[in-house]
Structure 1
């Protein structure tokens, strides 16, 4: 699988994921944000606060008291699985 090179979050809760060899995916997260693990990302500024790890997109840990699972990460496999559904 190609390495993720860049991720650009959009105002419409999309992620433009760019890979080596010129491939990219535009992933719509609107429905996913309605689920428990990602619900803290409803705040658009929080959604846009991403870090690219070797094999995942990561958001900062929520402040104590927020309903979320730790850590909030999204791997390429998660994205591909969601697209298949």
Structure 2
């Protein structure tokens, strides 16, 4: 699957299915897009769509850490008490 380029609509349709998988990966600690992609066995460009969607809706956030390669690490967003 790594070498296959899928239609972007297919990738976006899987976003909701991938949320739980990504959150499980982030339980181990903040991860970069390539690290998440490796854990999922999916291409980084697909994972980027899912992570950015989750970021947009406040499920995950950047930790402020940047790797030597220039990647941000993402972790579960802090829950706010209302």
Query: Would you call these one fold, judging by a TM-score over 0.5?
Result: no
More helix by share: 2
Q: Would you tell me which structure has more strand in proportion to its own residues? A: 1
